[in-house]
Amino acid sequence: MRRPKGMGPSEKPSDTSLQEKTMAAFHSNARQPNQSTFREDLVAWLRSLKAPKAWVGLTAVTWARTFSSDLATRLASAGYAELSQHLNRQDLLALCKRSDVPLEYRVAAVMAWGRSNPRNPQNNRNLWASISNIAPLLKRLPELTRKQAFAEFQRLIARGALQGMRASFFTKLMFFFGCPHAYILDQWMAKAMLALRAANWRVSVDGNPKFVRSAGNFIRLGYGGTSIALTMSGDDYEAYCLSVEALVRPLGRVDGADVECWLFSDPTSEWRRFLKRLDWKLKTERL
DNA sequence: TCAAGGGAGAGCCTGGGCCT
DNA sequence: AGGCCCAGGCTCTCCCTTGA
């Protein structure tokens, strides 16, 4: 199936009835996601796309080399082949379950998988220096709810105990270290969910859908739109996870993690190109 | 045809400056 | 003072071009 004409923010939907239904849903601000929460035409388009290519990150050794040659050497000679390999999700999930691998090495593997700031050595040095502060929380992740875990992360941030790591990478740790039903929330997942949410679209003067982020979003990007805002709470994160799960059936996916893979897509996909065309620097507007 | 080189795009936090 | 915004950081990978 091709991309529907009405998909884009400045293009008119070809199906009038669909347009009416979609527009009616634009003003739905319900916090609990339901079918009208999302733009149905976008969901249908997404469902029709071919499976995205698998994400490929860095090896832990390569990542470590971006800020510490000593650490890179230590990882390379630690006796764990996975630290020198490009891991997929399943590989990384398996590695993170292994208690025989030092916790910080597993964290490095997750940071590498997500390509944490290879262009910013100082950031990664800060991140690495904060690991001892976050280690107790990481060990408890399997026993915490996703809302509790995210709230504890925010408390660490507020105390200044965690530098170089924001929600995008903490949620990766939540996912890989076994916090139940936690999903990764990075800029692309945030953008995907904001774009799918019908309340963030309006009808412009020429009758076309126009992307305008409303004020009621539980997902908030940082300024410039490349990071997750520090103002997101545990409740906000919980609402995000519920939204992901609400898309399992509409998108025909297996579970929330599968939805996340689908929405994250790959950097060259049609879906990603669509997201990039939207204006993420716009301030939120009150309806 | 293949190897080498170059350009562009991918990732995201921080610091600092401007604005209200 | 706090909100808002932008530039900086600068490696790895992919893809296209060039030259042997």
Q: What is the secondary structure of A121-142 as a DSSP string?
A: HHHHHHHHHTHHHHHHHHHHGG
Task: Say if residue A4 is exposed, middle or buried (CB neighbours under 10 Å; 0-12, 13-18, 19+).
Answer: middle
CA dihedral of A224, A89, A87, A77, whole degrees rounded to 10 = 100
Q: How far apart are the first and last CA of chain A?
A: 34
Distance CA(A205)–CA(A40), nearest Å, equals: 22
Residue A35: per-residue pLDDT: 60
Nucleotide nearest to A63 (CA to C1'): C11
Residue A181: per-residue pLDDT: 92
Residue A36: per-residue pLDDT: 67
Residue A23: per-residue pLDDT: 35
Average pLDDT, chain A: 76
Residue A141: per-residue pLDDT: 92
Distance of C1' in C5 from CA in A213, Å: 17
Block residue for tokens 């849903």: A25
Q: Does strand C come within 7 Å of the CB of A118? A: yes
Question: Residue range A74-84: average pLDDT?
Answer: 84
Distance of C1' in C9 from CA in A251, Å: 38
Distance CA(A64)–CA(A75), nearest Å, equals: 8
Instruction: Express each pLDDT in A170-223 by its tens digit.
Output: 888 898 899 999 988 888 888 888 888 888 887 777 777 877 776 667 787 776
